């Protein structure tokens, strides 16, 4: 672990959403909103999203890929931030939506998505998931296994056909955390090429399914575009199809020591492989999740306790209830005090939950930390909201959109009654 106590203000601000700035008194502002004002109005912890940054990233993705391959669709991987308001922005900006299960189908529909522009994923789809997909006319079901085929044969009404893709394991060993790797031979997702060929034949002979193409995915938080591009060749070898879904997985910058490829680098690598290996005129799909939303948000906490000893523990009012990435994948984050940005002495920022692993950031420099201070942790737009939980009776956190100096609530905080609402006795 490298402790960056000499990071400049500009370097720190670069981890926050584009457009983040300091007020005249040095307080962080996102979307033109002071974070201390947001905390006062909506409480802490709270996930604060720059709406303009989110919209611009969606536009940048479309421009990068359609500028290189005109018949390309960008499908936002909803699981990374399955908030209806976020899905609605993606729909507004012309993106398709990748949904994982019935719940994400329903939130996507509430967000105004065209069901024909939904792509349903899942390695263990239930009858209910597939019934919802068929009922609402989901555009593509990604067949992950032979059981998906059996279920669709049973569920799709006579006289109808469900468009499908077959998910293929590309055999790429991704340089990422084990929990984020999906393209290796032992992955629980998809079918090895020989099995994929059998699935393709079954779908092609079915009266209730229509094979549109193939799908693949290497993993998440990949910082090497060549590994992402390696997945194109295995699906190209399976034949000529109308659709080739290349998945997502581009990594983002969480810390000063990470240097992810640019969006242009990623698009260049993927489209270069597509031009070399895929038929002209084919439709390609990319499915960004983390790289679409991570940098659009930060989480604001309030300091509740400070213990000084061998290690200075700065405890805040959130933790693994709103950010499981640290304990799940070992991902490092950075942090700063909202009104004293950058510099200071190294401390360990820990959460309020009864787990030693409930640590948000270890060895992060903070300036003159005191009870009641607000701490902002950047790059929390991906996989934080979606994995938020009620551990130790914590109330799940709100999501606030900030734009042009106006902060608005798009997801409320749990109430105490919400903790009891599912009890039947």
N- to C-terminal Cα separation, the chain: 49
Assess contact for 350 and 360: CB atoms under 8 A.
yes
CA distance 71 to 192: 27
- Give every CB contact of residue 63 below 8 A, 6+ residues apart in sequence: none
Helices 51-66/84-92 angle, 10° precision:
40
Beta strand ranges found along 257-373 (DSSP E): 283-286, 297-307, 313-316, 336-337, 345-350, 359-366
Nearest alpha-carbon partner for 23 in 10, 6, 41, 36: 36
Nearest alpha-carbon partner for 30 in 276, 22, 398: 22
pLDDT of residue 7: 82
Structure tokens of 263? Answer: 């969006």
Average pLDDT, the chain: 95
pLDDT in tens, 214-270: 999 988 898 888 888 999 999 999 999 999 999 999 999 999 999 999 999 999 999
Task: pLDDT tens for the chain, 425 residues: list them.
Answer: 566 667 889 999 999 999 999 999 999 999 999 999 999 999 999 999 999 999 999 999 999 999 999 999 999 999 999 999 999 999 999 999 999 999 999 999 999 999 999 999 999 999 999 999 999 999 999 999 999 999 999 999 999 999 999 999 988 776 776 777 677 878 888 999 999 999 999 999 999 999 999 999 988 898 888 888 999 999 999 999 999 999 999 999 999 999 999 999 999 999 999 999 999 999 999 999 999 999 999 999 999 999 999 999 999 999 999 999 999 989 999 999 999 999 999 999 999 999 999 999 999 999 999 999 999 999 999 999 999 999 999 999 999 999 999 999 999 999 999 999 999 98
Whole-structure pTM value:
0.95
Please say whether the dihedral angle defined by the alpha carbons of residues 80, 82, 87 and 89, taken in this order, is positive or negative. negative
Q: Which residues pair with 28 in a beta bridge?
A: 22
pLDDT of residue 2: 60
Q: Is 152 exposed, middle or buried (0-12, 13-18, 19+ CB in 10 A)?
A: buried
pLDDT of residue 170: 87
Helices 84-92/102-110 angle, 10° precision:
60
CA distance 348 to 306: 10
- Active site (catalytic) residues: 354
- Give every CB contact of residue 58 below 8 A, 6+ residues apart in sequence: 74, 76, 89, 90, 93, 94, 95, 292
Q: Which spans in 213-318 are helix H?
A: 225-229, 232-236, 263-277, 290-293
Give the CA count within 13 Å in the CB-facing half-sphere of 368. 4
- How far, CA to CA in Å, does 259 sit from each of 60, 194, 291, 352, 355? 19, 36, 13, 31, 31
Domains of the chain and CATH, by start = 9-43+296-420 (2.40.37.10), 52-292 (3.20.20.10)
pLDDT of residue 176: 75
- Give every CB contact of residue 260 below 8 A, 6+ residues apart in sequence: 223, 250, 251, 252, 253, 291
CA distance 76 to 91: 9
pLDDT of residue 349: 98
CA distance 227 to 190: 18
Structure tokens of 74? Answer: 């960008």
Assess contact for 123 and 151: CB atoms under 8 A.
no
CA distance 400 to 408: 6
Residue 108: enclosing H or E segment and its boundaries?
helix 102-110
pLDDT of residue 121: 97
Q: Which residues pair with 50 in a beta bridge?
A: 402
């Amino acid at each position: 672990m490298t402790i960056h106590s000499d990071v400049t203000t500009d370097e720190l601000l670069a981890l926050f959403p584009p457009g983040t700035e300091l007020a005249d008194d040095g307080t962080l502002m996102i979307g033109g909103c002071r974070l201390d004002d947001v905390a006062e109005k909506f409480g802490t912890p709270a996930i604060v999203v720059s709406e303009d940054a989110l919209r611009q990233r969606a536009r940048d993705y479309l421009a990068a890929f359609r500028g290189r391959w005109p018949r390309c669709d960008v499908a936002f991987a909803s699981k990374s931030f399955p908030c209806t308001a976020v899905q609605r922005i993606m729909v507004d900006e012309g993106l398709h939506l990748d949904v994982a299960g019935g719940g994400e189908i329903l939130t996507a529909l509430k967000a105004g998505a065209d069901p024909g522009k939904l792509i349903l994923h899942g390695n263990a789809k239930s009858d209910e998931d597939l019934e919802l997909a068929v009922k609402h006319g989901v555009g593509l079901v990604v067949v992950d296994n032979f059981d998906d085929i059996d279920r669709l044969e049973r569920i799709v009404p006579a006289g109808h056909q469900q468009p499908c893709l077959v998910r293929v394991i590309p055999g790429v060993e991704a340089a990422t955390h084990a929990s984020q790797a999906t393209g290796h031979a032992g992955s629980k997702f998809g079918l090895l090429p020989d099995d994929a060929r059998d699935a393709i034949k079954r779908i092609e002979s079915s009266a209730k399914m229509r094979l549109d193409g193939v799908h693949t995915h290497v993993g998440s938080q990949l910082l090497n575009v060549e590994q992402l591009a390696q997945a194109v060749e295995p699906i190209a070898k399976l034949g000529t199809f109308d659709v080739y879904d290349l998945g997502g997985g581009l990594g983002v910058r969480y810390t000063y020591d990470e240097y992810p490829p640019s969006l242009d680098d990623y698009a260049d690598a993927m489209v270069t492989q597509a031009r070399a290996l895929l038929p002209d005129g084919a439709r390609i799909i990319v499915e960004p999740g983390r790289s679409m939303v991570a940098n659009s948000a930060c989480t604001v906490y309030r300091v509740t306790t400070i213990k000084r000893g061998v290690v200075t523990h700065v405890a805040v009012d959130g933790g693994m209830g709103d950010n499981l990435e640290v304990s799940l994948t070992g991902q490092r984050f950075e942090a700063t005090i909202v009104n004293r940005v950058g510099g200071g002495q190294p401390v360990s920022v820990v959460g309020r939950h009864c787990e030693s692993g409930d640590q948000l950031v270890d060895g992060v420099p903070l300036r003159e930390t005191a009870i009641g201070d607000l701490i902002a942790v950047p790059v929390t737009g991906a996989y934080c909201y979606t994995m938020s939980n009620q551990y130790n009776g914590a109330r799940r956190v709100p999501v606030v959109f900030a734009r042009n100096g106006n902060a608005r609530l798009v997801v409320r905080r749990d109430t105490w009654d919400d903790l009891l609402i599912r009890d039947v006795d």
